[in-house]
Every structure is written in structure tokens, then in C-alpha cells.
Amino acid sequence: MAQLPRFTHREIMVTMSGLVVAMLLAMLDNMIVAPALPTIVGDLGGLNHLAWVTTGYILASTAATPIWGKLGDLLGRRITFLSSIALFLIGSALCGMSQNMGELVGFRALQGLGAGGLMVGVMAVLADIIPPRDRSKYQGMMMAVMPVAMIGGPLAGGFITDHLTWRWAFYVNLPLGIVALMVCWFVLAKLPRSSGRVDVDWAGAVLLTTWITTLVLITSWGGTEYAWNSPVIVGLVLATVVGFSAFVLVERRVAEPIMPLSVFTNRNFSLSGALSFVVGFALFGGVTLLPQFQQYVQGSSATSSGLLLMPMMIAAMTFSLGGGALISRTGRYRAIPIAGSVLMSTGLLLFATMGPDTSRILTSLYMVVLGAGMGCLMQTTMLIAQNSAPPRDMGAATGAATFLRNMGGSLGVSVLGALYTHTLADSFTSGAGAVAHTAGSAGTVAQMTPEVLRALPEAVRHSFAQAVSDGIDTAFAWGAGTAVIGIVFALFIRHVPLRGYAGESSTASKSADALAPGQPSTPSAAPRSAG
């Protein structure tokens, strides 16, 4: 790719406006759609396909993430980023026009293909316009999008469903996406474009999509749709192993691999990628269970349970912004992922001690601890990964790091969710005895909603609340144990000077030498900020 231009501070801030909207699209979509799902099923039918409305989106976006990253390296960041936004908007419009559940699932997958390029595109564009030495403070700003999405999404989704129609849960993406398209069309015009014919690793893309798909299906179906030892799951496991092995062989031989395996030979990149996977597994796998405790045990409504996550989101935003400013001022970052891993492990362990008598105030304090860990880790792991990759592979490295975090999240939601469900059913059935039998035993557990629970006798409600607490404790204990592994990964990360502005920092060449063995020691032609 051609030498990168320098961007003024004003140009960076205008570009950030478009990137923030694109990030908001990527994070807001599932949050808005979730409250509309019951209404969608009532309108379109197809309850047996409901899970695929979410699974299809996650599967497509996860598989597409590293592909979009590499295409950005080959074809130019501007055209690929704008294409991903356009594909996301087309998918959103088609979702809103769906006439049956089959169409909705297919269009959600199309939407997910575009979404895979939004997140990696935002981070890769930031890497193009801002050098690592100053990038952390701008990446910290992106964390402000998270509380808006986590809290505003369910509220907006519920309002849209109640007062308009569920179709507007998808149509609402269109005005936001058009704004992002218009802003990025103009402000990214300075970024270099493809200089000629490029060879795209289509074989690698197909194999990557294949083994990711089979792996996600294993985590989605195993123990629920099919038994773990069923022919379907065993066949998917074999397909995953064969697909992954073939993918590695292809990536070793092609000139421009979708996921360059050479980046994993760098110690810091591998450690930051492993830490990203652990963060996704423990953090997102656990956080998705918190509304269960808030609604079933603490009696919160679906809408208010989203608001009750605010302490965690505010803490995440505060520590992300503070950590980003500290890194930009000092150039030192090694202590932040270590502290973040400790805070994440501590927060998850605290949640593993909750019971039916745990107050909302105490839960909020636990959320602050977990949110602080989240803020320390989310953007710092990405910064380390980007600083550890040669500039020509920046998009692929960003895609690989995002992919690892998403895969960790997908597996975490599946594994910790299964632990939660299994423990809940066992606890409710064995602990409540005759009361549980009266309530319908495990069959009722699978169909229990907060509304149904409120109509049951007091003894049943108490037994079910205790069972939910037992399930939450088990899931978070396993999440905390996984997070401890993240502390080990963080401790082995070395401090390597962040690349600064081209020609202005003596640390740049040192960084390139230290980070990319065998690569030219010429520093990245990073852009300048006038600020």
C-alpha cells in the first residue's frame, strides 16, 4: 500500500465523527433488535428459527471480520470501509422488508457480513490516520459509544416496538448509516487506494468461513439442539478440525493470505490476541447473564435491567479514556493490561458470590470493578496488536485481533450460558423437591419468563431465585478462572516503544526492529496530528 498521508487534528476529529457513527451502528444493532424479537415471532411465525436471527448475524460478522481487514490492506481502506457500511445498510433495509422468518434470517446474515467490516474498519482507519503513540486517546473515545449502545439500545428498541413497528428496529440504521457514508466518503479521500491488480486469497476466505461456521454451530447446538456425542456434533467437530488444518496450510503458501500467520510469530501480538480471546470469553460471556439475575432475582424489568448496567459502562468509559490519555502522555502501556486483567478477574469473582439477598447497590459496585477492567483492556489490547504488526499488514492484524475477541465472546456466551442453564435446572429440580415438581420441574425452567414467575406461588419464586443465583455463581466462577489466565498472558507482554510520527521519533525504528523480525526497519509512515 502507498505511503500514508498526514492528517491534521481537525481532519482527524471530522473523521472521528464518521467512525463513531459507524461504531455505533456495529454495537447498537443487536441491542435494538433484541426487544423486538418476541413481536417479530408473533408477526412472522417460525419460532423454531428464532435463534438463527441472532446466530446468523454473529456467524456472518465473525467470519467476515478478518476478510474485510485483509481486503482493506489490498484494495485500500476507504473503498472497503464504505462497502461494508453500504452492505450493512442494504441488509438492514431488507431485514425490515422481510415477509417470513427464512427471509429475515438470510438478510440478517447479509447484514452481519457488512457488520464484520464496520468494527475492523473503524480500528484500521484509526491506525492509518493516527500513529500508535497518540492513537490510544482517540481509541478511548470510541469506548463512549459502548454505554450509548448498551443502555440506549434496549430503550430505543422497546420504544420502537411499542409505538411504531418492529421493522423500524432495522430501518433506524439507515439514517445513521447514510451520515457515516457521507462523512467517510469525503474525509477518507486522502487515504491511498489500490495501485493495481491484486491477488485475493479466495481459497483462504472460503476455508476460514467454513471452519468458523462449523465451530459456531458446535457452540450453538452442542448440548441444546443435539447431544454432544450425536453424529451431527461429531461431524461438525471433524469438519472444524479438517477445515482449520486446510486453512493453515493454504495461508502458509499464498502470497497475500487473508490472515497472515507471520503476525502470530510476534510475541506481543500473540499474547495480546490471546488476552483478547480471554476478555471476550470471560467478560462478554458473563455480562450477558447479568440481566438474568437482575430480572429473576432482583425483580427488575427488561428495560430497567439495561439501565442497571450503567455503572459498569460508565466505569469502562472512564478507565478507557483515562488509560488512553496516560498512554499518549507517557508512551507506557504494559501496566494497564495487567491491571485490567486483575480487575476483570476480581469483578467476575465478586459476581460469583451473589445470592438472592445481594442488593442492587452491591451489584452496582461489582459492576464498577468489572467495568474498570473492561476499560483497561478493550482498547489497550488492540493498540498492542496494531503496534506489533508491520504497516502493510495493519488491516489483517486488526481483523485477526477483532476476530479473536469475537470468537472468545461467542464461545463464552455459549459455554458459560450452558453452565448457567445446567446448574439452574439441577438446583431448581433437586433443591426445591416437591415444590419444583409442582411448578413443572425442568420443563418449566426452560420456558420460565419473569411474567410467568411472578404468577407462581411464593415458595416457587424463592426456589427459582436461588436456582438462578446458583447458576450465575457457577458461570461467573468459571469466567473468573478463565480471566486469571488472562493475567498470565498480560504479565508476559513486553514493553515495546509505540511508533510515533514518521521521522520525528527515534523510538519508531526501534519499535519496528523489535516488533517485526525479518521486516524492514523503516518506520511506519504514520500521519500527523496538528494537535
| pLDDT tens-place string over residues 504-520 | 443 433 333 344 433 43
Question: What is the predicted pLDDT for the residue at 1?
Answer: 45
| pLDDT tens-place string over residues 40-76 | 766 776 655 666 777 778 778 888 888 888 888 777 7
What percent of the chain is modeled with pLDDT above 70?
77
Question: What is the predicted pLDDT for the residue at 520?
Answer: 39
Helices 101-129 and 360-387 sit at what angle, rounded to 10 degrees? 60
| pLDDT tens-place string over residues 456-508 | 677 777 788 888 888 888 889 998 998 999 999 999 988 887 765 444 443 43
222 plus 169 within the same structural domain: no
Most confident of 150-154, 298-302, 379-383: 379-383
Q: Which band of pLDDT confidence, cut at 50, 70 and 90, is reported for residue 338?
A: very high
375 plus 291 within the same structural domain: yes
Q: Which band of pLDDT confidence, cut at 50, 70 and 90, is reported for residue 346?
A: very high
| pLDDT tens-place string over residues 432-449 | 554 545 444 444 555 566
| pLDDT tens-place string over residues 347-380 | 999 999 988 888 888 988 998 999 899 888 877 8
Among 195, 213, 242, the domain-final residue is 195
* pLDDT (average), residues 381-394: 78
356 plus 269 within the same structural domain: yes
Which grid coordinates belong to 205? 476466505
Q: Which of 419, 418, 414 is nearest to 473 (CA)?
A: 419
pLDDT of 96 strictly over 60? yes
Q: Which band of pLDDT confidence, cut at 50, 70 and 90, is reported for residue 387?
A: confident
Helices 267-279 and 458-491 sit at what angle, rounded to 10 degrees? 170
The rounded mean pLDDT for the chain is: 77
174 plus 284 within the same structural domain: no
71 plus 174 within the same structural domain: yes
435 plus 454 within the same structural domain: yes
Query: Residues 420, 459: contact at Cβ < 8 Å?
Result: no
| 205-209, 306-310, 443-447: segment of lowest average pLDDT | 443-447
Question: What is the predicted pLDDT for the residue at 530?
Answer: 34
Query: Residues 132, 387: contact at Cβ < 8 Å?
Result: yes
Give 34-79 as a 3 state SS string. Answer: HHHHHHHHHHHCCHHHHHHHHHHHHHHHHHHHHHHHHHHHHHCHHH
Single-letter code of the amino acid located at 421: T
78 plus 215 within the same structural domain: no
Classify residue 377: in a domain, yes or no: yes
| 170-174, 387-391, 506-510: segment of lowest average pLDDT | 506-510
247 plus 269 within the same structural domain: no
191 plus 206 within the same structural domain: no
Helix (H, G, I), strand (E, B) or coil at 5: coil
Classify residue 520: in a domain, yes or no: no
Which grid coordinates belong to 3? 505511503
How far, in Å, are 89, 115, 154 from residue 107 at the CA level? 11, 12, 21
Judging by beta carbons within 10 Å of its beta carbon (0-12, 13-18, 19+), is residue 149 exposed, middle or buried?
A: buried
272 plus 417 within the same structural domain: yes
What is the C-alpha to C-alpha distance for residues 39 and 53, in angstroms, rounded to an integer?
A: 13
245 plus 298 within the same structural domain: no
| Number of domains the chain contains | 3
* Phi, psi for 347 (deg, rounded to 5): -60, -45
* Phi, psi for 200 (deg, rounded to 5): -95, 135
What is the C-alpha to C-alpha distance for residues 296 and 331, in angstroms, rounded to an integer?
A: 46
Helices 132-142 and 101-129 sit at what angle, rounded to 10 degrees? 140
Q: Which of 311, 318, 373 is nearest to 340 (CA)?
A: 373
Does 349 or 142 have the greater pLDDT score? Answer: 349
Strand partners, 226: 222
95 plus 215 within the same structural domain: no
CATH of the domain at 344: 1.20.1250.20
Can you give the residue range of the structural domain that contains 230? 202-253
Classify residue 211: in a domain, yes or no: yes
